[in-house]
Amino acid sequence: MNYSEDVAKKIAFVKKCKEDIVFFAEHLLRSEDGGYYKLEPHQKAMVTSKEGQVVYFCGRRLGKSFMLATEAIHRAMFEKYQKVFVLSPTENQAKELAETITGMIERSTLIENEIKLNNVMEKKFKNGSRIVIRTGGGRGSVSSIIGSGANLLIIDEIQDVSDELISKIIPVMRGQRGAAKFIVAGTPRDRSGFLYESLENAPRVWDDGKWYEYPENTGNFTVYRQQTCYMDENENIIRSSTPRITIQELKEDYENIPRLQFLQEYCLDFMSSVSDVYSEDLREYCLYKPTEDYPFSSFNPVVAGIDIGKMRNETVLYIAEVIPKPQLEYKSYKVLDLKWVKEFPLGTDYTDIEDYLSYELPKLFPNLFRIVVDATGVGEAICEVLQKRARKSRAKYIVEPFKFSKEKKKDLVESGVAALERGQAKVVWSKRLEHEMRGYKRELTDSNNYVYQKTAGSDDYVDSMNLCLYNIVLGLMDSVPAAIEIVPKTLPRQFGQKSEDKTVINQPTRRGRKRRPNRRIVNSKRRRY
């Protein structure tokens, strides 16, 4: 082969890569093991889509990040002066996708030679095109995220991007010249938000190799749907949609991953049986904004509940005043008014929390008579310390441990909801609490068990509120009971046990003949043997 033929062959190869993105991926991109990628049917359908606005609705482990990276590189490589923006909800997700793009570029000599600038979050090509990876989950403005416009905009994990940001991005994209393609990708959460609405209103849906037309729908996005796992009515795994994952591996994941999470991420199930634990009507009924400021202290009878934060969760304390006298707006004789809430910042030492509950809280609320403590995990040790200190100081309050389990979680949540619905409790409004209550979901499983999920991201305030409300189940008191006041400082459990004043309880004497004195004892008059 002479030089001209070799050049012509290379030009034909590059032209083929430009015209056929599947050929480009399978002959120019290499995986981490050094071999060329081999696209699966669902991947070929998605990367070759010609629609201007598409949704990649994919299950876990189907190569979604690879497809997004392939389209970004292909557009920037073969089109001049292209602006390709890739948005992810969090910084870690953005960096992970950026590393995927970087690895695919660096494993291909031809592509790497076309790179002018190869930063972690931005790639500039010699033809004037660039790929920019950004975080789209913060509060930044649209202009700070996508600049003056994009020829290809990709939003990954769109279910975790705020609807407010999406509502600002879409009009900007539609008004930009050369905005040829808009791709959103994600997995289900609940039946609300941009992703769910786009799927419900899609006029065309590609699902597992087949096209479905819905001319009555007026949505703007074409949906490409591929779930990882297929199950029968009894939730037996019957098929995997990719040869890379065996049925046995799916069964192992099903056993190791929470059921809700597996059905969502592997089967793309929006969980139709999920309902709101705290409906909008209930929130309006039980949450109130005080008409005046009041101090963080009270001489009235109060109860409390504290959720101990683990890892990245805050410790939250709710304190409720017991209203002993009936009033017109209350349906029950004794009502809890959750007037006070205290959040301990992240990183607060557990000993500081123990000291606050043991020494500061009783001073602020002298008539505190019970505190329900989250005794799960590290909370068990904290609860034991609080109980020991309460006994030692003859405290007038009870430290009640509560260990979370599936069954006890159900009792805790449902009893709290019942108390709110009956009007036995009211709660001072806070933005964090309402946000968590709005995102708190309940699923009734086939075995009639409740499973709770926190779509708002955390449930620290909800758990603390429910622990405080659990005092209703344990019983409400108007004042500190006398039985608590007369508890002795120490109560030896057996004869001979030392009390705190170092005295010893005498052993009982045996009935019957007295023991003879030792004959070798010398008395005052004479020696006896």
What lies within 8 Å, CB to CB, of 101 at 6+ separation is: 69, 72, 73, 86, 123, 131, 133
Q: What is each CA distance from 197 to 208, 303, 496, in whole angstroms?
A: 20, 44, 73
521: left (phi over 0), alpha (psi -120 to 50) or beta: beta
How high is the pLDDT of residue 139? 45
Cα dihedral across residues 199, 201, 205, 211: positive or negative: positive
Domain ranges of the chain: 29-225, 227-272, 280-482
Q: The tokens of 294 are what?
A: 């009041």
Secondary structure of 477-490 in the HEC alphabet? CCCCCHHHHCCCCC
- The matching CATH number, chosen from 3.40.50.300, 1.20.870.10, 2.40.40.20, 1.10.10.10, for 29-225 is 3.40.50.300
Q: The tokens of 60 are what?
A: 């876990």
What is d(CA 279, CA 438) in angstroms, rounded to the nearest whole number?
A: 7
What lies within 8 Å, CB to CB, of 507 at 6+ separation is: 495, 496
CATH class of the structural domain 280-482 = alpha beta
Q: Which pTM value belongs to this model?
A: 0.55
Q: Are strands 302-307 and 237-240 parallel, antiparallel or unpaired?
A: unpaired
pLDDT, averaged in runs of 10, over the chain (529 residues)? 80 93 94 91 95 93 93 94 90 91 93 92 94 72 58 89 78 58 86 85 95 93 95 89 93 78 85 71 91 91 92 88 70 80 91 94 94 93 94 91 88 89 90 90 65 78 95 74 45 42 44 51 45
Same CATH fold assignment for domains 29-225 and 280-482? no
